[in-house]
Amino acid sequence: MRKYAEDYELERTEDEKGRIKKKAKYVGDYYVVNVDEQDLIKFRRVAFLVLVLTLSLHIGAGFIGNQGMYQFYVALPYVFVFLPLYYFASGILRLPKDKRPYRRDEVELTFERIKKANWFLFGLFCMVILGELVFLVWFSKGGQNQELIFLALEAVAAIPVALIWRSQKSINIKKIDED
């Protein structure tokens, strides 16, 4: 990843056979997270459960044969939810299991990625819910049971995302001074 290339230095050493070996050495800044190890493990478990719950509810809502999904203002946000959901998942799967000073790439590819993806994820869920409400109020012609089931599944999928977003606000990341 070229973004983090300036954080590494290439160290060259010669082995006993005269071959030059190259090894990357981290020379960038280190960061500390303000949670202890047990809370970090708990956050990781909860975030993984939120991911599984949200993914299953969102995919399950897509299998409902509702007429609202034929409208672009419902279908497009529904499909676009999968992009931040992917980044949310990749951030969760990279979360560290132990407490130690973290490198810049570890912090940005886990905690920061989860925070940004969560923000977009919640916004897109709100757009799906709003689009479905618009369809229900102005364009629905009977058969609202499937629409209400879809709306309920999307709303229930958005709630854990909002809760994990709120809980992550208490996690502060600070750069360790070189003093």
**CATH at 47:** 1.20.120
Q: Give CA–CA dist 23/21, Å, rounded.
A: 7
Q: Is residue 7 part of a domain?
A: no
Q: Is residue 15 part of a domain?
A: no
Mean pLDDT by runs of 10 across the 179 residues of the chain is 84 85 88 89 92 95 90 94 95 91 91 93 96 90 86 94 86 80
Q: What range defines the domain where residue 55 resides?
A: 29-175
Q: Is residue 47 part of a domain?
A: yes
Q: Kindly report the pTM of this predicted structure.
A: 0.84
Please count the structural domains in the chain.
Answer: 1
pLDDT score recorded for residue 1: 66
Would you say 33 and 44 are in contact if contact means Cβ atoms under 8 Å apart?
no
Q: Is residue 109 part of a domain?
A: yes
pLDDT score recorded for residue 123: 95
Q: Is residue 145 part of a domain?
A: yes
